[in-house]
Amino acid sequence: MVRPREIMPQDVEDALQGAGLRAAYDARPPYQRNDWLIWIKGAKRPETREKRLQSMLAELRAGHGYMGMAWQPPGRGKTD
């Protein structure tokens, strides 16, 4: 089952633009972008929403990680 695509809330768009991370966000796979938006939008308290948003920004800034899990972009993982 394919989940519907989430619409980006304005505060998330503003945070990405303000941090200069919109291109890094757009470069991520569609499932990650969608999951992050669902996760952020699902917060019940404003403090939790902000914490989740900051977590996403930190992972984008680092260039790896995805919702607290290990993730590397293609070509940056282990080489054997």
Residue pLDDT, tens place only, 11-39:
999 999 999 999 999 999 999 999 999 99
Q: What pLDDT does residue 17 have?
A: 98
What single-letter amino acid sits at 62? Answer: A
Among 7-16, 35-44, 65-74, where is mean pLDDT lowest? 65-74
Phi/psi for 69 (5° steps) reads: -105, 160
Higher pLDDT, 21 or 68: 21
Sequence spans of domains, the chain: 1-80
Mean pLDDT of 58-62: 95
Round to whole Å and give the CA distance between 2 and 44: 25
Q: Give the C-alpha separation, 51 to 69, whole Å.
A: 16
78 alpha-carbon distance from chain centroid: 22
Mean pLDDT of the chain: 90
